[in-house]
């Protein structure tokens, strides 16, 4: 059975309401008697709380409730480390820490009351230097860290939240015999997910049961967080997600649902919270982590990579959140999709008094890949070899061994490279046909597939249409909207025949949410399994109706037919109209990753190898103005091995968006902190996103390889990889023009100008 691409593009069912403005997002919801919430945030990035006085705030007319830590259970929560409370109790550790929350009749009164909450502090020295914080004698961000519930498999202690290593072979011995050794140090600034929809939610109680309408990417995680922090059963918590206006990972994890729920319970009225744009930048514990990356590679003159050593330090910010595994992810990306028999990599995720980091699109990958791919070009230069040729000789292929020894099955790394070179016109650079201020850069990368539990129901209505009921979450990627393609293929129906019930924890089975490029990979299998149950039910009914053997029947064009007898059929609508319940359920077996050897490694809990890895090469042609440092991306090619592509229009859309996000990371996007650790640019005026006028021509290629032990029909994920290799490709193109690499990300005009015009000794 194969998936047929529709003769016309498949139009996602949520498209019309989004483009016409008729769809309702969380911020559009209005309830009778609702109140409005506002938060009092920390006045300092690092301070001890001596006293909180809510008297003036409570006395303001229109205020219905003011809550602090004293009004909620003293419960710690977090990911790898349980290190945080809903409301700051003894200390604030970054400027977005919530000290108090207010519910009032209007937004203006709520904000005024929040400002009236008096907090007396003992101001402490800020600790924004995440690298320096890793010293054994550094002051602690969390003095009581030994009392936290911490997953000790990640090797953290003190300010080191996570410590991971990859050890393979003998990197020191191999480096000693290398004919060429290249070293580099690279620094990437923090950046934001910056979804256009700000965070919004409404909480309402009915007796002892709570419903929260929330703009979250992970409703089941939000449900678990509310239940845990408020000490109530999960069965009493329902999370509903209206249309979601983007997230890019910044709306993953449990955030403010419990804060607003406490206000709603206290007032016995619905309470609504909508962030301002400034709050959307300052408060959430999800931004892309800053990183410092040191790389050393040994190679032979023929291009063979004999060893790699690396030291990476990541800024975890004030709290763990769900980012505790990031040191491990970064270590894998420092290896890259290359043949390496000798590896010694050490990666640290450190606390600081900066905004906490979290899973923004492909966490740790764009920064590490940007550093590694520039480093690979520097290795090529030291060898006197073209960068594309070095990658031809070193990219992994079927049968090669990964960083932890896994044996790779059929993958398309080499094919992605060659197609990207063809699409970008790389021969023009080799032949010297480009102007002096233009050049082409390439970058290759990889991203894992995440095998997670998921579930779905498929049922048929009496008129022969279908309903897919899923716990999966749709954040704009189109993954959930593509599920009808899979169900229709199994049942011989049209995708348009299916509606979808989703984003409601009371309706669908558990799902990890929209993260990790895993929705189609995992929930797609569940939908197909559920549709198979319905298929068997239809075949049994049709066999009786047509007096035929089940093995002689097929489903196609909305009917069950006797094969070879075009006039012998019964429509699915006829069978569904008989009154029988046609319902299937599926969970889809969770694929297991290949075996890997981590006996010499630490901090590798849960990711010993990479399941069904996605491979890709990006190529950028840029124009650089040496006098101003301004960079313009003129042309871009992105070629991916994401397995079999289920929905080409949706997959292409993810690449277009991911490339543009990657160009933003490459050239303009950064969260700038002052010396105290406060954000200097919390708003869209100063946080420089790319716009349509900045978009180059983007050419997309797919290397379709049916991947065993992967997603439906041999597919892999698509959503996150398009942003991974983009900064590296742009950086290498800039370096081709300048003759040296920019070693700070983003590669702003000032940094490009400085690289072009300042001598090496003065940099």
Contacts 24+ apart (CB under 8 A), 592-601: 592/451, 592/709, 593/406, 593/451, 594/406, 594/407, 594/409, 595/405, 595/406, 596/402, 596/404, 596/405, 596/406, 597/404, 597/405, 598/404, 600/165, 600/167, 600/168, 601/164, 601/165, 601/166, 601/167, 601/404
Q: Which of these ranges, 236-240, 259-263, 429-433, 510-514, has the smallest mean pLDDT?
A: 510-514
pLDDT band at 9 (very low <50, low <70, confident <90, very high): low
The pLDDT value recorded for residue 676 is 84
- For residue 417, the Cα-to-chain-centroid distance in whole angstroms is 24
Rounded CA separation 473/222 (Å): 12
Whether residue 763 has pLDDT greater than 60: no
The pLDDT value recorded for residue 740 is 96
**Contact of 197 with 215, CB cutoff 8 Å:** yes
CATH of 452-586, one of 3.30.365.10, 3.30.70.980, 3.50.50.60, 2.40.50.840: 3.30.365.10
Whether residue 4 has pLDDT greater than 80: no
- Bridge partners of residue 407, in order along the sequence: 401
Q: Fold match between 291-451+595-762 and 452-586?
A: yes
pLDDT band at 5 (very low <50, low <70, confident <90, very high): very low
Rounded CA separation 500/481 (Å): 8
The pLDDT value recorded for residue 760 is 59
pLDDT tens-digit profile of 280-297?
999 998 899 999 999 999
Cβ contacts of residue 37 below 8 Å, gap of 6+? Answer: 101, 102, 103, 110, 259, 260, 263, 271, 272, 273
Whether residue 1 has pLDDT greater than 60: no
**Contact of 474 with 242, CB cutoff 8 Å:** no
Beta strands 305-317 and 291-299 are: antiparallel
Q: Which of 633, 622, 744, 752 is nearest to 690 (CA)?
A: 633
Q: Which of these ranges, 10-19, 417-426, 451-460, 664-673, has the smallest mean pLDDT?
A: 10-19
What would the mean pLDDT of 374-387 be, rounded to a whole number?
Answer: 98
* Most confidently modeled range among 247-256, 412-421, 481-490, 641-650: 412-421
CATH 3.10.20.30 fits 291-451+595-762, yes or no: no
What would the mean pLDDT of 505-534 be, rounded to a whole number?
Answer: 90
**Contact of 459 with 535, CB cutoff 8 Å:** no
Stated pTM of the model: 0.95
Cβ contacts of residue 536 below 8 Å, gap of 6+? Answer: none
pLDDT band at 3 (very low <50, low <70, confident <90, very high): very low
Rounded CA separation 704/412 (Å): 8
Coil, strand or helix at 107:
helix
pLDDT tens-digit profile of 425-442?
999 999 999 999 999 999
pLDDT tens-digit profile of 190-227?
999 999 999 999 999 999 999 999 999 999 999 999 99
- Average pLDDT of the chain is 94
Which element (helix H / strand E) includes 173?
helix 171-177
**Contact of 398 with 411, CB cutoff 8 Å:** yes
Whether residue 2 has pLDDT greater than 50: no
The pLDDT value recorded for residue 154 is 79
pLDDT tens-digit profile of 601-626?
888 777 788 899 999 999 999 999 99
What would the mean pLDDT of 631-636 be, rounded to a whole number?
Answer: 98
Rounded CA separation 655/637 (Å): 10
pLDDT band at 600 (very low <50, low <70, confident <90, very high): confident
pLDDT tens-digit profile of 219-247?
999 999 999 999 999 999 999 999 989 88
The pLDDT value recorded for residue 150 is 87
Coil, strand or helix at 157:
strand
Rounded CA separation 226/73 (Å): 11
The pLDDT value recorded for residue 605 is 72
Rounded CA separation 392/421 (Å): 11
Angle between the 219-230 and 257-267 helix axes, to the nearest 10 degrees?
A: 50
Cα→Cα distances 690→280, 363, 437, 712, 752, Å: 18, 20, 22, 34, 18
- Bridge partners of residue 221, in order along the sequence: none
**Contact of 509 with 455, CB cutoff 8 Å:** yes
Phi-psi region of 451 (alpha: psi -120 to 50; beta: other; left: phi over 0): beta
Whether residue 588 has pLDDT greater than 80: no
Question: Regarding predicted confidence, which is higher, 7 or 192?
Answer: 192
Whether residue 462 has pLDDT greater than 80: yes
Coil, strand or helix at 566:
strand
**Contact of 283 with 273, CB cutoff 8 Å:** no
Coil, strand or helix at 372:
helix
CATH number of 26-124+196-246+252-282: 3.90.1170.50
pLDDT band at 80 (very low <50, low <70, confident <90, very high): confident
**Contact of 97 with 318, CB cutoff 8 Å:** yes
The pLDDT value recorded for residue 30 is 94
pLDDT band at 759 (very low <50, low <70, confident <90, very high): low
Cβ contacts of residue 236 below 8 Å, gap of 6+? Answer: 208, 209, 210, 227
Rounded CA separation 547/687 (Å): 68
Q: What percentage of the chain reaches a pLDDT higher than 70?
A: 98
pLDDT tens-digit profile of 652-709?
999 999 999 999 999 999 999 998 889 999 999 999 999 999 999 999 999 999 888 8
Rounded CA separation 699/178 (Å): 38
Q: Does the CA dihedral 603-605-606-609 come out positive or negative?
A: positive
User: What residue spans define the domains of the chain?
Assistant: 26-124+196-246+252-282, 291-451+595-762, 452-586
**Contact of 573 with 464, CB cutoff 8 Å:** yes
């Amino acid at each position: 059975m194969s998936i047929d691409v529709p003769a016309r593009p498949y139009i996602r069912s949520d498209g019309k309401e989004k483009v016409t403005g008729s769809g309702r997002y969380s911020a559009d919801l209005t309830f009778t008697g609702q109140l409005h919430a506002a938060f009092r945030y920390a006045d300092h990035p690092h301070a001890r709380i001596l006293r909180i006085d809510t008297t003036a705030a409570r006395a303001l007319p229109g205020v219905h409730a003011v809550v602090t830590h004293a009004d909620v259970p003293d419960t710690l929560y977090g990911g790898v480390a349980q290190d945080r409370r809903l409301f700051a109790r003894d200390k604030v550790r970054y400027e977005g820490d919530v000290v108090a929350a207010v519910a009032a009749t209007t937004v203006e009164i709520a904000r005024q009351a929040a400002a009236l909450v008096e907090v007396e502090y003992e101001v402490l020295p800020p600790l924004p230097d995440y690298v320096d914080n890793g010293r054994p004698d550094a002051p602690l961000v969390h003095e009581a860290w030994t009392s936290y519930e911490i997953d000790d498999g990640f090797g953290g202690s003190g300010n080191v939240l996570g410590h991971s290593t990859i050890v393979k072979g003998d990197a020191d011995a191999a480096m000693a015999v290398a004919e060429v050794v290249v070293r580099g140090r690279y620094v990437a600034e923090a950046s934001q997910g910056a979804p256009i929809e700000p965070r919004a939610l409404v909480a309402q109680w009915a007796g002892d049961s709570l419903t929260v309408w929330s703009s979250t990417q992970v409703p089941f995680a939000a449900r678990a967080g509310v239940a845990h922090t408020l000490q109530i059963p999960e069965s009493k918590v329902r999370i509903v997600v209206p249309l979601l206006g983007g997230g890019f990972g910044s709306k993953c994890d449990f955030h403010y649902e419990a804060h607003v729920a406490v206000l709603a319970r206290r007032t016995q009225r619905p309470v609504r919270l909508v962030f301002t744009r400034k709050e959307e930048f300052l408060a959430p514990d999800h931004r892309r982590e800053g990183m410092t990356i040191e790389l050393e590679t040994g190679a032979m003159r023929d291009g063979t990579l004999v060893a790699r050593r690396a030291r990476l330090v990541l800024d975890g910010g004030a709290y763990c959140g769900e980012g505790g595994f990031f040191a491990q992810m970064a270590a894998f990306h420092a290896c890259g999709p290359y043949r390496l028999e000798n590896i010694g990599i050490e990666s640290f995720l450190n606390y600081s008094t900066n905004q906490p980091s979290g899973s923004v699109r492909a966490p740790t990958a764009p920064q590490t890949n940007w550093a590694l791919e520039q480093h690979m070009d520097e290795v090529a230069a030291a060898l006197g070899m073209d960068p594309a040729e070095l990658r031809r000789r070193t990219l992994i292929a079927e049968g090669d061994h990964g960083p932890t020894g896994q044996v790779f099955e059929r993958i398309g790394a080499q094919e992605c490279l060659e197609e990207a070179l063809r699409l970008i016109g790389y021969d023009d650079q080799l032949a010297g046909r480009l102007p002096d201020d233009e050049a082409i850069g390439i970058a290759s990368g990889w991203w894992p597939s995440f095998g997670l539990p998921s579930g779905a129901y498929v049922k048929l209505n009496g008129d022969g249409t279908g309903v897919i009921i899923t716990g999966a979450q749709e954040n704009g990627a189109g993954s959930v909207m593509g599920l009808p393609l899979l169900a229709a293929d199994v049942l011989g129906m049209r995708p348009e025949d299916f509606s979808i019930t989703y984003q409601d924890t009371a309706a669908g089975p558990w799902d990890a949410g929209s993260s990790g490029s895993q929705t189609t990979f995992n929930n797609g299998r569940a939908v197909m399994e559920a549709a198979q149950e319905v298929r068997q039910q239809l075949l049994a009914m049709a066999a009786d109706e047509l007096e035929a053997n089940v093995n002689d029947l097929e489903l196609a064009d909305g009917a069950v037919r006797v094969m070879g007898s075009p006039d012998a059929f019964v429509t699915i609508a006829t069978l569904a109209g008989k009154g029988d319940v046609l319902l299937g359920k599926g969970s889809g077996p969770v694929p297991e990753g290949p075996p890997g050897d981590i006996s010499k490694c630490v901090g590798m809990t849960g990711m010993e190898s990479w399941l069904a890895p996605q491979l890709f090469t990006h190529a950028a042609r840029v124009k650089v103005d040496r006098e101003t440092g301004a960079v313009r991306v003129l042309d871009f090619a992105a070629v991916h091995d994401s397995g079999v592509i289920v929905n080409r229009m949706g997959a292409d859309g993810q690449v277009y968006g991911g490339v543009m996000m990657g160009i933003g990371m490459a050239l303009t996007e950064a969260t700038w902190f002052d010396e105290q650790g406060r954000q200097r640019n919390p708003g869209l005026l100063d946080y420089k996103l790319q716009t349509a006028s900045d978009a180059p021509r983007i050419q997309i290629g797919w290397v379709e390889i049916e991947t065993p032990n992967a997603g439906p029909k041999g597919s892999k994920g698509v959503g996150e990889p398009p942003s991974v290799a983009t900064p590296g490709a742009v950086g290498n193109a800039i370096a081709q023009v300048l003759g040296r690499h920019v070693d700070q990300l983003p590669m702003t005009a000032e940094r490009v100008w400085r690289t072009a015009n300042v001598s090496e000794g003065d940099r």
